[in-house]
Amino acid sequence: MNIEPVKIALGSLHHQIMNTFGSLYGICAAAMFVLTCLALISPLSRIRIGGPEAQPVMSTWRWIATSITSTVATGLFFWSAAEPVAHLASPSPSSGDLPFSAGAASSALGHLYLHWTLVPYAIYVVPSLVFAIAHYNRGAAPGVCATHHGAMPAKLARARGIGNVIEKISMMSLTFGIAASVGTGILMVTRGATIMSDLAGSQISFTSMFNITTILLIATCAIVIMAGRNHGIGRLASINSLIFIAIAVAVLAVGPTSFITSQSKIGVHKFLTGLFSATSGSGREMDRAWRQDWTLFYWTAWIAWAPVTALFLGGIARGRTVRAFLTVNFLVPAIFTGILMSIFGSTVLYLQTSSGMPLAQEFQKTGADAVVYMALGALPYANTFRTVFTILAFMSLVSLCSSALASLAGMSSGKTRIGQERGTVTAWSLAISAIIIVTVNGSGVDGVRMLANLGAFPMLFLQLMSGVALTIMLLDPSRARWQDKKQGG
């Protein structure tokens, strides 16, 4: 079957959506950031999720670790190396930087922070907070509709048909989005595993390695979910976070430490001084094509993933104040990711500009996954770094996929505690693994990624409704206070 015409049609539709609604994605991202900052300092921040007697689901450290690892996956590792050298070679037109110049290097880090720190976590945290308050304080059912609780007129909100349509469209879009994201991550991990197996003299084909990795990963995710949010996902998150920190410290110790420090300071300054205009895209008409390829691509991906994140992060928020929730799910992961991006991003920029390693050329020729393995090969104990990196990439993908599958299982079962819903978890695990294997073996992951981007389009309007819901709560915090179901108010 010739699927090329379908790809062309989907690509055309995708670009049409970006051309028409691209500015709305930018406005949405900027609005989520502003609302999150306002929520941190508002009276709403003092409200406890789940009522005054509610107890936390997990310890503070495990909660922080779960928040970080359920949103950060293989993308951080691979793109923290690939994106800076891509921007170094092709700076944004409005920056005025010449390719491979010092200005392009610092701007590259600024873009990296823009795409991976404060703004993405604001996009995640707004629907997550609305869901947590709606579910635990106001008794809303655990579904996508709870992420914009209070934003719709009362009559529409009570209409079961409208809610069912929203839930079904969301579940279909999220299924393809999860399959695309996880499938892309598995491809990257598989290429790393193939490199390691080649070094060991193994003859396993890439396709076989991909299928084995997919089955192993999804099966591991199912086991982790069935172990429960605390003992399964939370415990794995704690281990992953410690390994994250260890590998970052190791790279900092053996890498160009002074260059990392100085370059990061310049990059942070560029990021903060142009934060709002870069997020919204205001006054950057000459960057239109560049923004579609980078910034809007990221905003689309984060918005598409936001409902999954909301159901998971909101589901483990009981017993915490709104301020604590925002600190752990917005500030802490943004700072943590920013530090890792600084270390890995500055290191590859140093290898490209000071050591002459052709990382940017490798990115254009092979892709993001090849860049990081080339960079790791330049460090002392290269094989050890590559092995640990591949294992950590796999484990972080398990954390991300586990939270996503848990959210889908929660949506279909109507429960936030899904550890005992073994049949539901197994069904979703089989469905996601089948979509990934069939699609990638048949036509590659590009088709699913395009479907995911198109499926993300309805999520844009749900994200905006989440913003409206949070705005209403900010203006009237009484709408977010705990409602005792036994007393009926």
The answer to whether the beta carbons of residues 366 and 86 sit under 8 Å apart is no
In Å, how far are 122, 125, 307 from 465, measured between CA atoms?
Answer: 14, 14, 12
The reported pLDDT for the residue numbered 155 is 65
Tens digits of residue pLDDT in 252-283: 888 899 999 999 999 999 999 989 888 988 77
Greatest mean pLDDT among 98-102, 247-251, 417-421 lies in: 98-102
- The answer on pLDDT for 47 being more than 50 is yes
Distance (Å) of CA 448 to CA 143, 180, 273, 311, 433: 24, 5, 36, 23, 13
Percent of the chain surpassing pLDDT 70: 88
**Spatial CA neighbour of 133 closest among 121, 114, 148:** 148
Nearest 10 degrees: Cα torsion 462, 323, 326, 244: -160
In this prediction, residues 105-133 reach a mean pLDDT of: 95
Q: Answer yes or no: is pLDDT of 61 > 90.
A: yes
Q: How far is it, in rounded angstroms, from Cα 408 to Cα 417?
A: 12
- Spatial distance between the Cα atoms of 359 and 191, rounded to a whole number of angstroms: 17
**pLDDT score, position 487:** 42
For 253, residues 6+ apart whose C-beta sits below 8 A from its C-beta are none
User: Per-residue pLDDT for 200 more than 80?
Assistant: no
In a domain, 235, yes or no: yes
In a domain, 234, yes or no: yes
From first CA to last CA, the distance across the chain in angstroms is: 59
Q: Does any domain span residue 439?
A: yes
Judged against a pLDDT cut of 70, whether residue 453 lies above it is answered with: no
Quickly count: other Cβ atoms within 10 Å of residue 122's Cβ.
Answer: 25
pLDDT reported for residue 442: 65
3-state secondary structure of 222: helix
Query: In whole angstroms, what is the distance from residue 33 CA to residue 122 CA?
Result: 5
Q: Would you tell me the crossing angle of helices 160-199 and 422-443 to the nearest 10 degrees?
A: 60
Q: What is the CATH number for 180?
A: 1.20.1740
Q: What is the residue range of 29's domain?
A: 4-480
Q: Please give the Cα distance from 66 to 237 (Å, whole number).
A: 5
Domain count, the chain: 1
Q: Which of 134, 150, 127 is nearest to 318 (CA)?
A: 134
21-35, 73-87, 364-378, 444-458 — which one is most confidently predicted on average?
21-35
- CA-based nearest residue to 91, from 302, 360, 366: 360
Give the model's pLDDT for residue 454.
63
Is there a domain that residue 285 lies in?
Answer: yes
Domain assignment present for residue 489? The answer is no
Amino acid in the structure at residue 360 = A
391, pLDDT greater than 70: yes
Indicate the DSSP class of residue 98.
P
Which pLDDT tens digit goes with each residue over 65-101? Answer: 989 888 876 677 788 889 999 999 999 998 889 999 9
* 290 has a pLDDT exceeding 60: yes
Q: What does residue 70 show for φ and ψ, rounded to 5 degrees?
A: -80, -10
**pLDDT bracket for residue 488 (50, 70, 90):** very low
Residue 48 domain-assigned?
yes
**Given a cut of 60, is residue 486 above it in pLDDT?**
no
Residue with tokens 């900027």: 30
Query: Cα separation of 300 and 304, whole Å?
Result: 6
Average pLDDT, the chain: 85
pLDDT at position 160: 63
Domain membership of residue 37 (yes or no) is yes
Cβ proximity of 87 and 345 under 8 Å: no
- What is the per-residue pLDDT for 475? 96
84 neighbors 109 (Cβ within 8 angstroms): yes
Long-range (24+ apart) CB contacts under 8 A made by 7-14 are: 7/443, 7/446, 7/447, 7/450, 10/447, 10/450, 10/451, 10/454, 11/450, 13/454, 14/450, 14/453, 14/454
Residue 486 domain-assigned?
A: no
Mean pLDDT of 293-312: 88
What pLDDT band is residue 156 in, cutting at 50, 70 and 90?
low
116: pLDDT strictly greater than 90: yes
Res. 489 pLDDT band, cuts 50 70 90: very low
Rg (CA), the chain: 22
Task: Report the pLDDT averaged over residues 46-63.
Answer: 93
172-188 pLDDT, tens per residue? 777 877 887 788 788 88
- The CB density around residue 432, as the number of other CB atoms within 10 Å, is 23
Residue 15's CB: how many other CB atoms inside 10 A?
12
359-368, 371-380, 417-426: range with lowest mean pLDDT: 417-426
